Amino acid sequence: METLAGMEGYAVYERSRRRVDGAEIALVRGPSGKSLWLSRALPGFHGDPLPNGGILCPLAPETAAALLKLLPELRPRRLPEGPSFGFGDRLGLATPGHVRAARGSRAFPVLAQQSVRENARTGRTFAEVLADAVFGALQEGYTGGFAADADHLKSIEDALEAAELGYTFFTCDPSDHVVPAEELPEKELRRRFDAIPKRAELEREYRDRTFEIKGLGRLHFSELDLARAAVKYLGAVEFAAEMYRALRERLPDGFDFELSVDETETPTSPLEHFFVVQELKKRDVELASLAPRFSGSLEKAVDYRGDLEVFRRDLRAHVAIAKALGGYRISLHSGSDKFSLYPLFAKEAEGLFHVKTAGTSYLVALEVVSRRAPELFREIYALSVERFPEDRATYHLTTDLSRVPDPSSLPDEELPKLLEEPDPRQVLHVAYGSVLRSPLGAELKKALLEFEEDYAVALEAHLGRHLEHLGVRG
Selecting among 128, 149, 225, 258, the annotated active-site residue is 258
CB 154 within 8 A of CB 116: yes
For the chain, what percent of residues have pLDDT higher than 70? 99
What's the rounded mean pLDDT across residues 118-122? 94
Tell me if residue 258 is catalytic.
yes
Contacts of 42 (CB under 8 A, 6+ apart): 21, 23, 66, 70
The helix (run of H) or strand (run of E) holding residue 312 is helix 308-324
- Dump the DSSP string for 61-73: HHHHHHHHHH-GG
> In the prediction, which pLDDT does 6 show?
64
How far apart CA 298 and CA 305 sit, in angstroms, is 7
The answer to whether 176 is a known catalytic residue is no
Q: Are the CB atoms for 291 and 153 separated by under 8 Å?
A: no
Say what the pLDDT of residue 264 is.
Answer: 85
List Cβ neighbours of 449 (8 Å cut-off, separation of 6 or more). 33, 34, 93
Q: How large is the average pLDDT for residues 224-229?
A: 98
pLDDT in tens, 337-396: 999 999 999 999 999 999 999 999 999 999 999 999 999 999 999 999 999 999 998 787
Average pLDDT over residues 125-143: 98
Lowest mean pLDDT among 72-81, 238-247, 339-348, 407-416: 407-416
Confidence of residue 1 (pLDDT cuts 50, 70, 90): low
Q: Which of 471, 463, 473, 468 is nearest to 111 (CA)?
A: 463
In tens, the pLDDT along 384-442 reads: 999 999 999 878 788 989 899 988 888 999 999 999 999 999 999 999 999 999 999 99
Is the predicted pLDDT of residue 259 greater than 90, yes or no?
yes
pLDDT at 7: 75
Q: What pLDDT is recorded for position 4?
A: 67
Active-site annotation holder among 89, 118, 149, 151: 151
Closest C-alpha to 131, from 177, 84, 190, 63:
63
Whole-number mean pLDDT of the chain? 95
pTM: 0.96
- Gap between the Cα atoms of 375 and 326, Å rounded: 53
Q: Across residues 155-172, what is the average pLDDT? A: 98
What distance in Å separates the CA atoms of residue 172 and residue 154, rounded to the nearest whole number?
7
Inform me whether the pLDDT recorded for 270 exceeds 90: yes
Mean pLDDT of 118-133: 97
Q: How far does the chain reach from its first CA to its final CA, in angstroms?
A: 28
Q: Percent of the chain scored above 90 by pLDDT?
A: 91
Q: Residue 474: what pLDDT?
A: 78
What pLDDT score was predicted for residue 3? Answer: 64
Q: Report pLDDT for 5.
A: 62
Element spanning 213, H or E? strand 210-213
Identify the CA nearest to 64 among candidates 164, 19, 131, 148.
131
* Residues 163, 148: Cα–Cα separation, whole Å: 10
For residue 262, give the amino acid letter. Answer: D
For the chain, the farthest-separated pair of C-alpha atoms sits apart, in whole angstroms, at: 80
Query: Mind listing the pLDDT tens digit for each residue in 295-325?
Result: 999 998 899 999 999 999 999 999 999 999 9
Residue 17, φ and ψ in degrees, nearest 5: -60, 130
pLDDT-based confidence at residue 58 (cuts at 50, 70, 90)? very high
Q: What is the pLDDT of residue 407?
A: 84
Instruction: Give the C-alpha separation, 109 to 13, whole Å.
Output: 22
